[in-house]
């Protein structure tokens, strides 16, 4: 299974910054040592043209050159540096590359499943970032795959339909805003009702969860949400944000899912896509464990489940 990383592009953070940047390299190390059938590759950088399918050019330019207003930079939550700008491009490029690997391209069959070791930057809007999100990788990948699909299917009457299944504990407000009133992309978000962002956008399907929600209630809500997605939409591609932050030991999550509950969550999503033979690309999204090793363990467990389904696609 192909997976793309960008942790070698350093985003320098000041001492005491609360974002756990080390988790990305820790995840890559674990995958290299424990899951050698995950084929790791450095992520390409998303181009200006690719980013402009979603983001306004003035915003892309300001991020690239460090000319965002101070308030806009603070809303992102990272200080600007060339490394920040490059890593944001690579994070978006990783989801693009994973989506191409899952779907295939002219002369190359799709593998059904592929991954981004980072990504899930769902708080980024078309014209601004926020909540540690600079460019919206899922939105960029969705728009680019739609454009490439239309070039291959010139006589198609409808665009490629994309479902974004966002299971980060925080609502995907940027994604919901970008695809508002777009019936070719279905946005589904399960998230903490009282968690960030406190002013939420309307997804196609929002499921608000109470603080302390545990495995059984969460999995029931997810099952109902996937049934609703199935009734309302027929995608040709799934983008899955497999956030680790619903975990009970997460500093910012406020939910109470166990390792087993999160593994069952992942299995639900991978199985839903497999049963319908829909290619799926996934990203890791949030994870802010009190113990960073527990966040990484949640993510490694996601890859173990994904490999089972990748082998079904590629016997």
- Residue 122 falls in the annotated catalytic set: no
Alpha carbon 253 to chain centroid distance?
17
Angle between helices 292-313 and 22-34 (to 10 degrees): 50
Closest to 310 in 3D by CA, of 97, 76, 112, 52: 112
What is the rounded distance in angstroms from the CA atom of residue 162 to the CA atom of residue 238?
6
The two structure tokens encoding residue 89: 């491009």
Given the residues 55, 122, 123, 170, select the one marked as catalytic: 123
Match 């390299």 to its residue by tokens: 25
Match 């000319």 to its residue by tokens: 67
What is the rounded distance in angstroms from the CA atom of residue 76 to the CA atom of residue 123?
9
Report yes or no: 243 and 286 within 8 Å, Cβ to Cβ.
yes
Task: Name, in order, each residue with C-beta under 8 angstroms of 105's C-beta and a sequence gap of 6 or more.
Answer: 148
Strand partners, 188: 165, 205
Report yes or no: 303 and 114 within 8 Å, Cβ to Cβ.
no
Query: Mind telling me the catalytic residues?
Result: 123
């Amino acid at each position: 299974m192909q997976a793309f990383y960008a942790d070698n592009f350093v985003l320098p953070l000041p001492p005491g910054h609360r974002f756990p940047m080390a988790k990305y390299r820790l995840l890559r190390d674990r995958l290299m040592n424990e899951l050698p059938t995950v084929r790791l590759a450095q992520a390409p950088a998303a181009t200006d043209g690719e980013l402009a399918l979603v983001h306004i050019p003035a915003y892309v330019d300001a991020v690239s050159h460090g000319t965002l207003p101070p308030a806009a930079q603070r809303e992102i939550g990272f200080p600007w540096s060339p490394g920040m700008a490059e890593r944001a491009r690579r994070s978006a490029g990783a989801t693009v590359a994973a989506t191409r690997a899952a779907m295939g391209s002219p002369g190359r069959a799709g593998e059904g499943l592929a991954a981004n070791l980072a990504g899930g930057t769902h708080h980024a809007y078309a014209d601004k970032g926020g909540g540690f999100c600079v460019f919206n990788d899922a939105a960029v990948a969705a728009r680019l795959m739609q454009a490439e699909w239309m070039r291959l299917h010139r006589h198609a009457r409808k665009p490629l339909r994309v479902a974004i299944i966002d299971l980060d504990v925080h609502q995907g407000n940027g994604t919901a805003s970008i695809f508002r009133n777009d019936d070719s992309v279905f946005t589904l978000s399960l998230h903490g009702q009282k968690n960030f962002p406190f002013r939420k956008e309307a997804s196609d399907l929002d499921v608000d969860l109470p603080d302390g929600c545990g495995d059984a209630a969460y999995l029931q809500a997810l099952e109902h949400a996937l049934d609703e997605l199935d009734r309302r939409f027929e995608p040709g591609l799934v983008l899955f944000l497999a956030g680790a932050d619903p975990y009970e030991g997460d500093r910012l999550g406020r939910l109470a899912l166990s390792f087993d509950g999160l593994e069952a969550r992942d299995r639900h999503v991978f199985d839903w896509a497999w049963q319908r033979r829909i290619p799926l690309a996934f990203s890791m999204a949030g994870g802010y464990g009190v113990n960073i090793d527990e966040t990484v363990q949640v993510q490694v467990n996601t890859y173990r489940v994904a490999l089972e389904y990748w082998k079904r696609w590629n016997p």
